[in-house]
Each structure stands twice: as C-alpha cells, then as structure tokens.
Amino acid sequence: MAAAEQEKLEALRQEVRAWLKKNLPEGWGSPAYVPPERGSKEAQELGKDWQKRLYEAGYTGFGIPTEYGGIERSRAEVAVIREEMQRTGTPPPAGSLGPMIVIPTLLRYGNEEQKKRFIPKILNGEESWCECFSEPDAGSDLANIQKTGVRDGDEWVVNGQSVWTSGSKFADWGVAPVKTDPNAPRHRNLSYFVFDCKSPGFEVRPLKQMTGDAEFSETFFDNVRIPHANMIGEEGQGWYVAMATLEAERGGGIQFVAPSRRIEATTLGGVDNYVELAKNTKRRGGIVWDDPLFRQRIAQFAIENEAIKHGRERMRVKAMKRQLTGHEQSIGSVFSREKNQRQANMVAEIMGANIQFMRGDPRSLDDGSWTYTFLRTRGNTIETGTTEVNRGIIAERLLGLPRNRM
Amino acid sequence: MAIEYGLNEEQEMLKTMARDFLANECPSTHVRELMEDETGFDPELWKKMAEVGWLGLVFPEEYGGSGMNFRDLTILMEEMGRAVLPGPFVSTLLQVGMPVLAYGTEEQKNEILPKIASGEVIFTLALTEASASYDAAAVQVKATADKDVYILNGTKLFVPDAHIADYMLVVARTGDGAKAEDGITIFIVDGKSPGISSTVLKTIANDKLCEVVFNGVKVPRENILGELDRGWSEVKKIVERAAVGKCCEMAGCIQQALDMTVEYAKERKQYDRPIGSFQVIQHYCADMATDVDGTTLSAYQAAWMLSEGLPCTKEVAVAKAWAGEACQRVMALAHQIHGAIGVTIDHDLQYYTRRAKAAEVTFGDARFYREIVAQELGM
C-alpha cells in the first residue's frame, strides 16, 4: 500500500478515535456506565441518537448509492472505522431492522420515489422499522400468509394478524407481505407493503419470551388502509420481495448495519469474553483455561468464527460492489446460529452450577448475561427461518437438488 | 440377582397413582403459580403428599413409613419429573430422610423420620459452597468444638429450600486431616437457630436455591449424624443417592418433553401437512427417543443397584453423566420442533428447559462424573 494512503488511513483512525471519545455516552466502557434496560424506550432513544451521530459523522451508510443518502468509502476505510468501533464497543444502534432488512429490500425492489423517501431516514436514525412476516399458521410455511388486502381506490384495506413481529414496540414503519389475490396460486398471491405504524387499526401486543424480554409482538391489522404507492415491487410479486428481505435477514443483514461490537458479538460470540471467563473460573481445584479439553473447544470456536467473519465480509464487499447477495446467506445462517447454541452450551459447562444465576441476582456474572444468552440462543435456530428451512434452501436453491419443501 | 426392566404390580400401582395424583393436584397451571410464588411451596399439596404416603415411602413402618424401597421411590421421582413438580421433596426425603434412616441413631430416627413422613417438617442438605463443587475439598464451612456444642461459621450456596426448611443437615469441617476427605462432619441443625440467615437466589429454574450464612451457630454435640470427622463417605453416598433420584426425575422430565413434542408434531400443520410427516422432524424425534431411552435405562440400572445395596459408583456416574447431557440435547430438539411458540413464557416447555438445565449441574455434571467413570475404568 502506498505510503500516502497509509497515512490517510492512519489519520482516519485518529479521527474516529477522537470522535468516539467525544460521542460515546458518559462513562462508556467503565463499570460506572449503566446501559438503559434492554428493549426500553430509553434504549431505543439512545440507539436512534447513536445512529444519527454515526451517520452525520460519515461512519455508516456504506455500500448505499449516494442519491439515497449513502456514503462512499473505500473498503480499507470501512475496515478502519469498523475496527475502531469494535475496539471500544458502541451503543447498539436502534431499529437495526431498517438497515438490516428494509434497505436491501428497497434497493432491490423499491422504485425511485420509495428509495428516496425511506432510505435516508433509516440511515439518519429518524425512522425505525418492524417486520410483520410470520402469522400463527405461516411460520416455516411463510407462503401461507392469510392477511388479506382489498383494493379500495388508491388504497388497500388490510386485515389479519402477524406474530413474532420483530422491532414492533417502537417502530415508526413496518413491512408486510399481504394476500392481495385470493385466487392466485401460492407464491403469486401476495403483494408487499410498507406501512405507517401510526395507521388507525394497527395494534401491537408484546409477547414475552422465556428470557423475560419481549423482543417480539403480536400485531393486528383491523381495516388498516395502506396507500397503493406503498406497494414495493409489483402486485402479486410479494413473495419474491419477501424472500429478498429474508435473504438479507438470514445473513444477519450485516452489510448496511452500523459497526458495533454488539452486532459482531451476536454471531462471533466474543471469544475474548469466554477466554476471560475460562481464565477466571475454577473447577475441581484447577483453572478451566488449563483444562486441555476446554482449551481445544474454545480454540475451535475461534477457528469457526474466522469462517463466519469472512462470510460477512463477503456480503459487505458484494454490497459495496452493488452486487446482490443471495441464497448463500442461508449457509452463514445455519452455521452461525447453531454455533451460537453450541457456544452458549460450552459457556454453561465452563460455569457449572453458576449458570443457574439469573439477571438480578447479585452473585451472577455480568448480571446473568451468560444465562440470558443460554436461554436466548434456544430461539436462534428458529428465528428468521428455521435451520431446517435454511438447509432446504441450500439443498434446493444452491445445490439444485429436487424440490421437497422443507 | 438381575435387574428387572418392567415394574411389578405394586410399582405399576404406584406409578399410576402418582400420575393421577400429580395431574389433579399439581397440573401445569399450578406449577406456574408455584414458580411465580415467592416461597414456591404449597403446604396443602405437601400435606396431601404425606397423606398418600410419599413423604415416608422408604421408611419402615415403625417410623411412620410405607416400607417401600429406593427403586420404588425413583418411580415416583420419574413421575415428579414429568410434572416438573416444585417443592422440597428431594431435599427432605432424598437428601435428609434417607441419610438419617441409614446413619442416624435410634433416637435421631425416632425424632426425625415420623415428622418427615407426616409432612410436619421440611429438611434440606447444606453441602455445596461458592465453588459449587461436590469434592471434599469444597467443604470449607467450619464447625469448632466448644464444650458441649459445635459452633458453625461460613457460607453454603445452592442450598435447596433453606428458606422454608425447619431443619438442615450441614456438612462442615471439624478437623484438618492429611486428606480433604478427613475432618468432615454432618450436623443436624435447627433452621431457626440464631445466626442462620437464608437468601433465596434468583436461578434459572426458579427452584428456590438459597445462600445460607452461618454466623456463630451453636449446634449440640449430640446432633452429629454419623461419626465425627468421618462424615465424607456418608456425604458421598448421600450425593450418589440424590443424583440417581435426580436422574430418574430427569428421565421423566425429558420423556414428557418428548411426548409434548410428538403431540405437537402431529397437530401442527405447515405446507398443508403435519410437520411430524417431514423426515427431518421424524429423525429429530427419533434422536430424542434414543436419548430418553438411554437416560431411563442407565437411571434404572443405578437405581436398582442402589436399592439392592450393590456397589455401583460407576453405574451412578454413567447415569448422571448421560442424563445431564442427554437432557440438553432433548430439550434443544424439543424447542426446535416447537418453533417460536416454545420459547414464550406462556408455554410449558420452558419449565422443562429450565429444570433440565438446573438438574444437569445439580449433584455433579457430566465432566464430574466422566472423571469418575475414567477412574473406575482404571485410568
């Protein structure tokens, strides 16, 4: 690399460091910092503000055309920004579903007007999004969506119910595939809409998980009126638009999401964290880290994380080259989600009886975050398409094996 | 003498009676209430369990018991696992009642056992400490002799049901021998003695494990169970017995999770057919059944051998090592097949997941027991 370019990158690194120092919440990284409760309004506000700051500083929005608010950076620059953000960690950006799934969907299927209207406000943190996909009888069989839309002049009148709606508690906008032609065959009977969550008739009822959090909701559509102009793609094309959304989500949608340690940690699992844990945990009189069996397993996770990291980097590079990411996202999804569970299981083994401590017990480590992770990861191989559905996609779409639905 | 795989008439009756009783007296709605309740204990249910003879099941009739054996008791444990029954049954009967029967003086037996059988008292065992290990070296709580009493100082952790226990067995260090196993004594301690404070921990199974602090607690010398300084061999047997009881409870727990899952796979339709008709789901269920079977058989083997008084260190280790890990595999697949509904707080499956996780680490996890198996193999 030319010396001048090296110098430019080093200057950027210093700039990002100074910026982080100035912009991270007070006390960040020290025990004095108490983050707002997960899923609370405060957490949402903090995340929105963080996204806004990042965007204004030019530290997110890569790979998106500038006419929709995207920011041009070289791959090397992006890497520097990402490294610095990962070094300090950052507040989780709020409403990451917008960059994660809505931007890729709009880039692929939205018209000019839609892209100009929605993408900039996702990037600057102004509007957050929810995803009304699954229904009680349309889980793995998503094509079985029963939510109906009837055309009335320039609007569609939508009725029905979603379940496991992600991001719905504080969302400003939502995406939803809707059955607009009850007589058309499967996969040709849906149309895909974006809608304003303040629309009369749209109701959100939070669903509590066994972790105690309510990350998802049941959402109800009672004569919700959606302008025809909010249809993404053609009428009857909704299944394919929905697949674009899911492809992005299955890959972790990482290509447009602002860099932060937390986002990486969800799949890379913070090997450093459990190396620390292993070094600080005594079992049967010895340190876990000295146990050759645990050392082998922890090292193996570090090895597997390399593959995941490169899968993600491949997506980012594709996005920057304006190339579509496709069904290969299912490979990363199956592998990293199952790995998450295996990893949580191993951490539980390291902790032994201490894995029993839940959040709120003063004796718990990291306020019970490992136990939380153990319980939370049970859903990892279910959400955004079960690993069975994803294996089917790999077998049929990528490998061309005969069709067998699931 | 050979192991019986089937149940005799009396055991069949016990099993049927237990299943009916628990379905009526502790359905999942009641489990939910108890899980959310601060004490997690239902005195009415406890009384009824005493009335049907469960609390004194293995005591001879002279102590108010039913005179059944340990293998019979494990049949009950299996049903309790199916129902994820909360409460101090394991702590009172397995961790205390049986040891008192085995190692107590006639006076201690006469004093304690009838009260346990009648449901008058709740007992628990205070063994583990901050290291959460079941090794002798982990016993650090001290008991110092002072005239005709011993004075207890230190902290026990993961003590089940201490917040409601009338009495507890406390494993304490009374001397410093050449080996960690020397100088350990078991005391029978009044739960209301001055200087004892219990705090309920916030745990994954919401199973009312406690931290118990002993601050200058006075225990009369005659309250020693077994022999002074030589308690460790008895503690080992208490843990073995409780571990096997736990394995049978775990077998019931995952059998029920399997049954719930198969039922769901038959009912839940996607792509216009029951998901149980998909080969991948069938294979998952088959894997679950294989793990449940292995857990059950190895638990039965250990239970039978203990019941017959045969040496079975290896068999106990095999059973608990197997059960601990098999439970995790079974519950993971149960969740996978149930899909999103199974991770909600309103679904019963979460109770089985939580219980299975706690059971895995209680009385020793697979790593602990694999080491014992290795030693038994002469490694």
Give percent helix, percent strand, percent coil of chain B, each to the nearest 5: 55, 15, 30
A139-154 pLDDT, tens per residue? 999 999 999 999 999 9
Please list the ranges in chain B whose pLDDT falls under 70: none
Quick check: A382 and B271 CB within 8 A?
no
A198-232 pLDDT, tens per residue? 999 999 999 999 988 888 899 999 999 999 999 99
Q: From the list A212, A285, A406, which residue is nearest B271 (CB)?
A: A406
Flag whether residue A355 sits within 8 Å of chain B, measured between CB atoms. Answer: yes
Judged by CB atoms within 8 Å, which residues 162-221 of A form the interface with B?
163-164, 207-210, 212, 216
B109-148 pLDDT, tens per residue? 999 999 999 999 999 999 999 988 999 999 999 999 999 9
Residue A266 reports pLDDT greater than 80: no
- Tell me, rounded to whole angstroms, the distance of Cα A162 from its chain centroid: 19
Minimal C-alpha gap between B34 and chain A (Å) = 16
- Give the integer Cα–Cα distance in Å for A296 and A289: 10
* Confidence bin at A1 (pLDDT 50/70/90): low
Nearest CA in chain B to A139: B270
Mean pLDDT of A118-123: 96
Check: CB of residue A176 under 8 Å from CB of residue A195. yes
Look at residue B364 in the predicted model and tell me its pLDDT.
Answer: 95
Look at residue B322 in the predicted model and tell me its pLDDT.
Answer: 97
B98: closest CA among B273, B235, B2? B235
Judged by CB atoms within 8 Å, which residues 133-162 of B form the interface with A?
133, 135, 137, 157-158
Q: Where are the domains of chain B?
A: 9-122, 125-231, 233-376
Q: How many helices (H) and strands (E) does chain B have?
A: 12, 10
Strands A173-179 and A129-131, sheet pairing: parallel
- Tell me, rounded to whole angstroms, the distance of Cα B253 from its chain centroid: 12
Q: From the list B131, B203, B371, which residue is nearest A358 (CB)?
A: B203
Contacts of B137 in chain A (CB under 8 A): 285
All domains of chain A in start order, with CATH: 3-102 (1.10.540), 129-245 (2.40.110.10), 269-398 (1.20.140.10)
Contacts of B132 in chain A (CB under 8 A): 352-354
Contacts of A378 in chain B (CB under 8 A): 332, 335, 342-343, 353
Burial A119-141 (b: 16+ CB within 10 A, else e): bbebbbbebbbbbbbbbeebbbb
- Give the integer Cα–Cα distance in Å for B244 and B248: 6
Strands B224-225 and B184-190, sheet pairing: antiparallel
Domain B125-231 has CATH 2.40.110.10: yes
Look at residue A252 in the predicted model and tell me its pLDDT.
Answer: 62
Contacts of A379 in chain B (CB under 8 A): 335, 340, 343
* Confidence bin at A255 (pLDDT 50/70/90): low
Residues β-bridged to residue A176: A193
Contacts of B128 in chain A (CB under 8 A): 353
According to CATH, the topology of domain B233-376 is Butyryl-CoA Dehydrogenase, subunit A; domain 3 (1.20.140)
Give ipTM to 2 decimals. 0.86
Mean pLDDT of A100-124: 95
Look at residue A260 in the predicted model and tell me its pLDDT.
Answer: 59
* Confidence bin at A73 (pLDDT 50/70/90): very high
Quick check: A348 and B344 CB within 8 A?
no
Mean pLDDT of A54-77: 92
Q: Give the ranges where chain B is alpha helix by DSSP (H).
A: 9-25, 28-36, 43-51, 70-82, 89, 98-103, 106-117, 232-267, 279-307, 313-338, 349-361, 366-376
A65: closest CA among A115, A124, A126? A115
Residue B297's identity, in one-letter code, is: L
Residue A321 reports pLDDT greater than 90: no
Quick check: B357 and A386 CB within 8 A?
no
Cβ within 8 Å of residue B258, ≥6 positions away: B285, B288, B289, B292, B330, B334
Mean pLDDT of A320-334: 81
Quick check: A382 and B275 CB within 8 A?
no
- Give the integer Cα–Cα distance in Å for A280 and A267: 23
Q: Residue A129 — φ and ψ, nearest 5°? A: -130, 155
For residue A207, what are its two tokens?
Answer: 């669903």
Helix (H) or strand (E) holding B225: strand B224-225
B294: closest CA among B250, B358, B353, B359? B250
Size of interface A-B (CB pairs under 8 A): 118
* Confidence bin at A267 (pLDDT 50/70/90): very low
Q: Residue B210 — φ and ψ, nearest 5°? A: -130, 160
Flag whether residue A367 sits within 8 Å of chain B, measured between CB atoms. Answer: no
Q: Strand, helix or coil at B156?
A: strand
Flag whether residue A146 sits within 8 Å of chain B, measured between CB atoms. Answer: no
- Give the integer Cα–Cα distance in Å for A328 and A319: 14
Best residue of A365, A378, A383 to probe chain B, by most B CBs closer than 10 Å: A378
Look at residue A254 in the predicted model and tell me its pLDDT.
Answer: 65
Q: Residue B123 — φ and ψ, nearest 5°? A: -120, 160
Look at residue A263 in the predicted model and tell me its pLDDT.
Answer: 44
Check: CB of residue B55 under 8 Å from CB of residue B119. yes
Q: From the list B201, B205, B343, which residue is nearest A379 (CB)?
A: B343
Minimal C-alpha gap between B352 and chain A (Å) = 12
Q: From the list A139, A144, A368, which residue is nearest B339 (CB)?
A: A139
B219-228 pLDDT, tens per residue? 999 999 999 9
Flag whether residue B370 sits within 8 Å of chain A, measured between CB atoms. Answer: no
Write the class of the CATH domain B9-122.
mainly alpha
Annotated catalytic residue within B78, B234, B240, B249: B240
Cβ within 8 Å of residue B329, ≥6 positions away: B287, B288, B291
DSSP state of A176: E
Catalytic status, residue A26: no
Burial (Cβ within 10 Å: 0-12, 13-18, ≥19) of residue A354: buried
CA dihedral angle for residue A252, residue A90, residue A16, residue A46, rounded to 10 degrees: 100
Look at residue B370 in the predicted model and tell me its pLDDT.
Answer: 95
- Tell me, rounded to whole angstroms, the distance of Cα A231 from its chain centroid: 23
Nearest CA in chain B to A144: B271
